[in-house]
């Protein structure tokens, strides 16, 4: 069955949630990814939305973190501050799923400004709850399209800390969460080296070459010793994406 690069990216990202208990859902692509995981291989996955909903089982893809459909059948609905205090800060959320306007080789994310902070070329939406998610969730997964504009050697501003300067820099700050574990893109999957915490390619999507990946990254990227080929989306995954989650193709086409 034919599929788009975005559909492959979404399916691959959803598989990263196998075995997860609770996922903090970001807007955009993380939203469709987490809902796909819940409707396929991880029916017991509890979804948490920043607006104050824990254990969401939405009947359709929510249009935003405040969409009323996330409340129906949820375990609990509360104020945003209560959600962050009683669930996130207590370490009850094991996966945070984030997007990124910019991301560097150590997984630091920028969603604040492009250019100088005081005189930016572009002013972005900012953190929302992403900084807290990046620090307090047990691990972080990132989904974004691969291009040099987004994958930069050094982000213009650290909105959500990854592995900071690499090595044990994050550990020295005594941050609870382990930080970014994987970055899923439309061309490949990247993970972080145990020693340097530098991003490296561990899986190439079908028909994607190393040269194609390098062309779209702003630094000399590392490749794992044994680079795998990403599994194609299944018929079930494609059916869920096309018929239930994104019939208009806003994210997947």
The pLDDT value recorded for residue 10 is 96
Q: Look at the block and give the residue holding tokens 């079930």.
A: 236
CA atoms within 13 A on the CB side of 139: 11
Q: Which phi and psi angles does 32 have, rounded to 5°?
A: -70, -35
- Rounded distance, CA 51 to CA 21, Å? 19
Indicate which residues carry an active-site annotation. 50
- Give the per-residue pLDDT at 27: 78
5-245 to CATH, choices 3.40.50.1100, 3.90.25.10, 3.40.1080.10, 2.40.50.140: 3.40.1080.10
DSSP assignment of 166-180 equals STTHHHHTT-SS--E
* Contact predicate 100/144, CB 8 Å: yes
125-155 per-residue burial string, b: 16 or more CB within 10 A, e: under 16: eeebbbbbbbbbbbebbbbbbbeeebbbeeb
Global confidence as pTM? 0.93
pLDDT of 128:
86
Q: What is the pLDDT of residue 232?
A: 97
**pLDDT tens over the chain, length 253 residues:** 799 999 999 999 999 999 999 999 977 888 999 999 999 999 999 999 988 999 999 989 998 888 999 998 899 999 999 999 999 999 999 999 998 999 999 999 999 999 999 999 999 999 988 999 999 999 999 999 999 999 999 999 999 999 999 999 999 998 889 999 999 999 999 999 999 999 999 999 999 999 999 999 999 999 999 999 999 999 999 999 999 999 998 888 8
Q: Locate the domains of the chain by residue range.
A: 5-245
What pLDDT shows up at residue 63? 87
């Amino acid at each position: 069955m034919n599929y788009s690069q975005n559909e492959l990216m979404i399916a691959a990202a959803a598989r990263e949630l196998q075995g997860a208990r609770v996922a903090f859902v970001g807007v955009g692509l993380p939203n469709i990814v987490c809902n796909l995981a819940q409707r396929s291989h991880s029916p017991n996955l509890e979804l948490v939305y920043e607006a104050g909903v824990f254990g969401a089982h939405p009947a359709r893809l929510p249009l935003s973190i405040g969409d009323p459909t996330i409340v129906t059948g949820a375990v609990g609905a509360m104020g945003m501050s209560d959600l962050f205090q009683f669930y996130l800060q207590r370490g009850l959320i094991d996966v945070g799923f984030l997007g990124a306007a910019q991301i560097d080789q150590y997984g630091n994310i920028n969603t604040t400004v492009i250019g100088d902070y005081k005189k930016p070329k572009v002013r972005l939406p900012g953190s929302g709850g992403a900084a807290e998610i990046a620090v307090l969730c047990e691990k972080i997964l990132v989904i974004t399209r691969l291009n040099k504009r987004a994958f930069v050697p050094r982000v213009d501003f650290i909105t959500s800390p990854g592995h900071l300067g690499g090595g044990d820099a994050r550990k020295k700050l005594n941050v609870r969460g382990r930080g970014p574990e994987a970055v899923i893109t439309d061309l490949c999957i990247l993970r972080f080296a145990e020693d340097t915490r530098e991003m490296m390619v561990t899986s190439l999507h079908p028909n994607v070459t190393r040269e194609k990946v390098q062309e779209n990254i702003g630094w000399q990227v590392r490749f794992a010793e044994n680079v795998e080929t990403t599994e194609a989306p299944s018929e079930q995954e494609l059916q869920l994406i096309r018929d239930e989650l994104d019939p208009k193709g806003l994210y997947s086409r």
